[in-house]
Amino acid sequence: MAKHHVSVTLNGEPTEFLCSTRQTLLDVLRDELNLTGSKEGCASGDCGACSVMLDGDLVCSCLVLGVEAQSKPIETVEGLAQGDHLHPLQRKFLEHAALQCGICTPGILVAAKELLKRNPDPTEEEIRYWLAGNLCRCTGYNKIVEAVMDAAREMRGA
């Protein structure tokens, strides 16, 4: 079957890929572009492990087709760190031990980064509400929320 040629901006870099009509953005990222940070937890839009930013929207990449990304900017967890410098959220997740198996972590980091962009000083309730679509079977969520609050504090310079 003929493949589609798709051009996007991926983590700030012009990027092209070929994909089939039915291939999800998640599969394109992982299988065609070797960006395996985004995880497949459910493939049905329920767990958030595959969360990426697409054209300014937080989406489940398992529910988006690769061809739908044409001409759009995509941001994945691989875009958070700048060279050797981890994003404050990444550092705080490590400091707070806010991950265990790590399957949920990339999606939560992408989602939390967008939250702090929209709301640099979220309450605990606001963090829990924003991250409600990101399921974690390991941590019990408290450490995740603490890490996000701590990163927000640091990013505000508080």
Binding residues vs ligand FES (CB under 6 A):
40-43, 45-50, 60, 62, 99-104, 136-139
**Closer Cβ to ligand FES, 20 or 100, answer by number:** 100
**Least distance to ligand FES from the beta carbon of 112, Å?**
13
State the minimum distance, in angstroms, from the CB of residue 134 to ligand FES: 9
* Long-range contacts, stretch 109-115, CB < 8 angstroms, 24+ apart: 109/77, 109/80, 110/51, 110/52, 110/53, 110/58, 110/75, 110/76, 110/77, 110/80, 111/48, 111/51, 111/58, 112/148, 112/151, 113/80, 113/87, 113/89, 114/53, 114/58, 115/148
Q: State the minimum distance, in angstroms, from the CB of residue 83 to ligand FES.
A: 26
Please, which residue, 47 or 152, has the CB nearer to ligand FES?
Answer: 47
